[in-house]
Amino acid sequence: MKPAVFRFLLLLSGLGGLSSHAVAAESTAIEAPGPLGPLAGTFVNAGAGTPVVLMISGSGPTDRDGNSALGPKPATLRQIADGLAKRGISSVRIDKRGMFGSKQAVADGNHVTIADYATDVRNWIAVIRRKAGVRCVWLAGHSEGGLVALAAAQGQADICGLILLSTPGRPLGEVLRSQLHAVPSAQTVLPQIDGAINALEAGHHVDVQTLHPGLRQLFHPAVQDYMIDLFHHDPVALLRAYRGPVLIMQGAADRQVSATADLPLLKASDPKAQVVLLPNVTHPLADLGVAPAADGSLPLDGAVVSDIAEFVLKH
């Protein structure tokens, strides 16, 4: 499991009326092949012939429900899955290789790349098509999961379309740099932060012993190879190369992925994409003014599920 290094990216990280054809959905365990062991997920079956959305969680140790092992438990993806089921849309939400139910898929969950995650997504698509009998599968990625969805969609004919939720438009090195520059306590070490990110973006490792002790976990040696790969990918270039339907959903109150810095880049790269900017909505797509539920989850803004469902069903 990735250590607290991705805490910043993780922080990066009302259902409306029911469809007239909604049925009681069944949740079952589902598996896909991984390199050394199975990948694990949850299949919410809204009925035969219904569309299927494959959900990809955000950065770091974030599970299939959208909850972080480092603390935040918004349950964003679980809530979306439950809401879509009531509108006649099935879903599969998954644990990433090396983490949670997919822990046995690789020996070390830190030794991964975006291409590895994209390969796993394609394996999931093949399993879902066989199990659900659908021609294609929708990909919904939250935060870093949106980047994985974009990477997995390149040249794939069996993807119905993309649903990009709180997805960065800038390479993630730029996003991390922007996040850290906004932290008051980090101002005295900004030269070290910028130097470390610049080195990783250039493909070089960083000697953490030369950094302030408060930065050593952030740039932990165990995750530097992953960060080097992660920072290499450009969401705009990937989206520009994709030809299918795209929904871009962003919260205006998101402090991790910016509605002013990231959203315009995605919009410009695909002028045909449907764009939903939700006022007063945070990175987990929760209403900023609504208190957490008793289980710690953050109730979704009322438009999230309805807009996703409308987008899927109209295509």
β pairing state of 137-142 and 90-94: unpaired
Least confident stretch, 4-8, 172-176, 295-299? 4-8
The domain ranges of the chain are 4-171+233-314, 175-223
pLDDT at residue 202 in the model: 98
Q: What is the mean pLDDT of residues 224-252?
A: 98
User: With left for phi above 0 and alpha for psi between -120 and 50, is residue 314 left, alpha or beta?
Assistant: alpha
Report whether pLDDT(10) > 50.
Answer: no
Q: How far is CA 54 from CA 143, 254, 297, in A?
A: 15, 23, 21
Q: Which residues pair with 31 in a beta bridge?
A: 40
- Residue 127 CB: number of other CB atoms within 10 A? 19
pLDDT tens digit sequence for 111-160: 999 999 999 999 999 999 999 999 999 999 999 999 999 999 999 999 99
Decide if 125 contacts 137 (C-beta within 8 A).
yes
Q: Helix, strand, coil: what percent of the chain each, to 5?
A: 40, 20, 45
- Distance of alpha carbon 108 from its chain centroid, rounded? 20
Reported pTM = 0.92
The proportion of the chain whose per-residue pLDDT surpasses 90, expressed as a percent, equals: 89
Give domain 4-171+233-314's CATH architecture. Answer: 3-Layer(aba) Sandwich (3.40)
